[in-house]
Structure 1
Amino acid sequence: MHRQHHVIDSPYGALTLVATDGTLSGLYMTDQRHRPAEETFGDRDPAPFAPTVAQLEAYFAGDLKEFDLPLRLDGTPFQRSVWQQLLEIPYGRTRSYGELAAALGKPAASRAVGLANGKNPISIIVPCHRVIGAGGALTGYGGGLDRKKQLLAFESGAFADGVLASGAAESGSTLF
């Protein structure tokens, strides 16, 4: 297993991109919860990240709504199923932990979904920031609640004071 990493600037601070055997396997924010130790990221080399950087730049410019990159999501089968559900949440929309648990056929597993969501290794691209608490409240985010608010506001502008604007808390609602 060969790992490489590259650090880029973003509107939300430095982002560390990690590739395993040439495939994106990590996107970590500064001070992110569950961020692996730096020494596990491998050699610093920008070469394998050109497509990722180009798509992130387009996303941050507001020109890209859906990423199209090969991903290596290393985790338990349950975690990978949760992360796959995250990839199904469209840009500008949110889902609650309970809705994700129900979509997995495990309606009582919203806490387990929350734990798996928090360990998502590829932030932004696998949009864990689009998961909210019951009633539309903004809850935990590995990159910090301020970043979650910023990302959701960037995608929609519909958030105010940590709670979805009126009418936006419905299942699968659009945020703009």
Structure 2
Amino acid sequence: MADSLPLSRGAAMPAEQRVHMNDPDAAATLAGLLRRLWAALRPPTLILCIGTDRSTGDALGPLVGSRLMRAHLPGIRIAGTLDHPVHAANLPGALRELRLTEATVLAVDACLGRLETIGTISLGRGAIRPGAGVNKSLPAVGDYHITATVNVGGFMEYFVLQNTRLAVVMKMADIIADALIESLSG
């Protein structure tokens, strides 16, 4: 299937898989999906964690990146941490500096969505467009992506991101980081 993520045994799963942060097995489920993806396709050589710590709702990427840096994943470069975020203002320059031509990139970013999707973490193949939820025109990035719906979109997006619950963002960042560490460690 053209829009499916291939699996190692020739089966396919939908192009995008989702877990919810309130599922007690969310990290393990996401780690399993990631392991199956890495078995069928190339694992990432760069994890690009997009966002800024100046906005609660947009801090997911840098939180994940900081956790991954502390995990010291062999053979994986991490870009986008709390100390050195990759965000709308510096994304084009960061992409040039990272020289992505030979890297397999997993992009991690927060997003806005419908009320019923808040807390949903999605894994998919293909690029994402960072900043789309706040009407920014930034380059698409990633061979794979993980996005987390942190709040409702559609109206006053900057205000919504600023007023997103930190507990929601932290919980999803922990799930994503735990799943990546588990799926990429030996």
Q: TM-score, normalising length from structure 1?
A: 0.33
Say which structure is richer in strand.
2
Name the structure, 1 or 2, with higher relative contact order (CA <8 Å, separation 6+): 2
